[in-house]
Amino acid sequence: MKDLIGIEKAEDILREHVRKNLFVQSFMMRRKAGYSIPSYFRDFLKAKSKERVGKEEHHSLLLKAGILYEQRNELENAVKYFLEAKEYSHAVQSLSNWEWNC
């Protein structure tokens, strides 16, 4: 969240939501805390976000999220955000970097 929208204390906010049992669950992943929210709540937040920010800003956030995931080599998430932003050339580029383990 810090890299995406500049929220410095995102981890503290997420921990507080976990503590209060407000739609956020925590789990350990590679010795680091991870967080998840139910898909119905994620959909609600996405809809609210679209209402509050303009179409261009929403597109910009999706693209930025894709780029951040790509930089972290989390290509599946990167492609998901690129496709949602309709940035197909970025999605193809990420797919070309994907290591296929078939």
**Statement: residue 30 has pLDDT above 70:** yes
Q: Are 83 and 95 in contact (CB under 8 A)?
A: no
**Statement: residue 29 has pLDDT above 60:** yes
pTM for the model: 0.73
Query: Is residue 52 left, alpha or beta, with left meaning phi > 0 and alpha meaning psi from -120 to 50?
Result: alpha
